Amino acid sequence: MRIIYPVNKRLVTGRAHDILIIKTCYALAEAGIDVVLIIGKTMPEEKILSYYGLRPHKNLKIIQLPVLRKRGRFGFSWHFIFNRFCLKKISDILSDGKKSLLYISELKTALFLLKYKKRLKIPFFYEIHGLYAVYPDDKNYPRADLKEGAVFSLSDRLIVTTGKLSEIIKETYHDAKNIAVVPLAADKPCVVGHTMQENFKVYYVGQLYYEQGIDLLMEAAGKIEGAQFHVIGGKENEVAYYKNAAAQRNIADRFFFHGFIKPSELDKKLKEADCFVIPSREKGKMNYVAHTKSYEYLRYGKPIISFRLDSVLEVLRDGYNSLLADKNDAGALAGCIRRLKNDGELRRRLSDGALKTLEGFSWAKRAEKLKQVFAAGIKS
């Protein structure tokens, strides 16, 4: 079996979805499947893999296509150019007659390539990470005009990362069928010895847009003494905005922003954490999308604190590997942090639960589940 995975973007952008793409492809390659990842021209393949802490693999090939984008009044996107090159490259790859399938996780790419499904004559598998039809009608989200329903009905199999998203799709698109739930994954445990210092250190890793709830974390921080808060990630303008907000709240002396850190260098920084936090508010896709951080946090063997989102509940269990607060309630979030800070036995118990939970979400297990989905889709 050969998997062709076209991605209409450059990698190494610092987004969690990029990590999901490259780690999934690598896990499938390690599972004995030939994987061809097609992306926009980025950098030499070995440098891309090194960026994510990986080495070249005989079963993984990264093809980089020319991209072109012009900004300004008469700007244009690379989508059309990339898609045309991509279609030609896929046709060339298929010319050897090897049994193959197309694995896609971007709506626009899927819409384009599905037009040529009869010509390509291979199964289409679409992995869904957002549902445009249920986004609020505001400036933060695309309008529901991208014909996602057509992609759902024309794909041979749909893949989602949470059961909650599967439920919403079935309710929204009654003709959507063959939906498989394949959770996200995390790397092997990275447990390091650490004794809590004078200040309890709370870490957040991820993007900083509004739905991620950094302002709620700041509000919680203002209610707690003897704790430091460390934020990793975000764009420069976002970091500057929240630094100013921390100063206005008079918490700048214990609320620190480290900016973006390469995935291959995160372990060294996160070893000092006493707990991790997911302050995402119940808005837009946050309640049903899989949160990469809820999986990645597990591998450090530290307690996790989160709001009680439906998507998070598929990974985290209150009192077992985490403490869960009522949605959007900064006071409840502060209460969980304070409780964890003052109870060493609770920290140890939740840490053990985190590592045990991680056992069910390895990249090898994600690859195996995907192999089963692909095999079933090809047979049908």
Q: What is the CATH number of the domain that holds 45?
A: 3.40.50.2000
Mapped to the 3 state alphabet, what secondary structure does the chain carry?
A: CEEEEECCCCCCCCCHHHHHHHHHHHHHHHCCCEEEEEEECCCCHHHHHHHCCCCCCCCEEEEEECCCCECCCCCECCHHHHHHHHHHHHHHHHCCCCCEEEEECCHHHHHHHHCCHHHHCCCEEEEECCCHHHCCCCCCCCCCCCCHHHHHHHCCEEEECCHHHHHHHHHHCCCCCCEEECCCCECCCCCCCCCCCCCEEEEEECCCCHHHCHHHHHHHHCCCCCEEEEEECCCHHHHHHHHHHHHHCCCCCCEEEEECCCHHHHHHHHCCCCEEEECCCCCHHHHCCCCHHHHHHHHHCCCEEEECCCCHHHCCCECCCEEEECCCCHHHHHHHHHHHHCCHHHHHHHHHHHHHHHCCCEHHHHHHHHHHHHHHHHHC
Do residues 200 and 227 touch, judged by C-beta distance below 8 A? yes
Asked if residue 87 belongs to a domain, the reply is: yes
Asked if residue 193 belongs to a domain, the reply is: no
pLDDT of residue 11: 86
Q: How far apart are CA 309 and CA 311, in angstroms?
A: 5
Please state the pTM of the whole predicted model.
0.90
Judge if 90 and 153 occupy the same domain.
Answer: yes
Judge if 107 and 174 occupy the same domain.
Answer: yes
Asked if residue 143 belongs to a domain, the reply is: yes
Residue 303 has which token pair? 């307690």
Judge if 276 and 333 occupy the same domain.
Answer: yes
pLDDT of residue 333: 98
- DSSP bridge partners of 128: 160
pLDDT of residue 80: 77
Give the count of domains, the chain.
2
Judge if 24 and 158 occupy the same domain.
Answer: yes
Q: How far apart are CA 185 and CA 170, in angstroms?
A: 24
Asked if residue 194 belongs to a domain, the reply is: no
Judge if 221 and 86 occupy the same domain.
Answer: no
pLDDT of residue 194: 55
Q: Nearest 5 degrees, angle CA 378-CA 371-CA 164?
A: 95
Asked if residue 114 belongs to a domain, the reply is: yes
Asked if residue 104 belongs to a domain, the reply is: yes
Asked if residue 163 belongs to a domain, the reply is: yes
Among positive and negative, which fits the CA dihedral 325, 330, 336, 340?
Answer: positive
Judge if 9 and 129 occupy the same domain.
Answer: yes
pLDDT of residue 256: 97
Judge if 236 and 288 occupy the same domain.
Answer: yes
pLDDT of residue 78: 60
pLDDT of residue 174: 80
Judge if 7 and 127 occupy the same domain.
Answer: yes
Do residues 124 and 154 touch, judged by C-beta distance below 8 A? yes
Mean pLDDT in order along the chain per 10 residues (380 residues) = 93 85 97 96 93 94 81 58 92 96 93 94 94 63 66 93 93 85 94 68 95 96 95 94 97 95 88 94 89 93 96 96 97 97 95 96 97 82
Asked if residue 191 belongs to a domain, the reply is: no
Judge if 172 and 265 occupy the same domain.
Answer: no
Domain around 258: 200-358
Judge if 148 and 167 occupy the same domain.
Answer: yes
Judge if 85 and 49 occupy the same domain.
Answer: yes
Judge if 96 and 226 occupy the same domain.
Answer: no
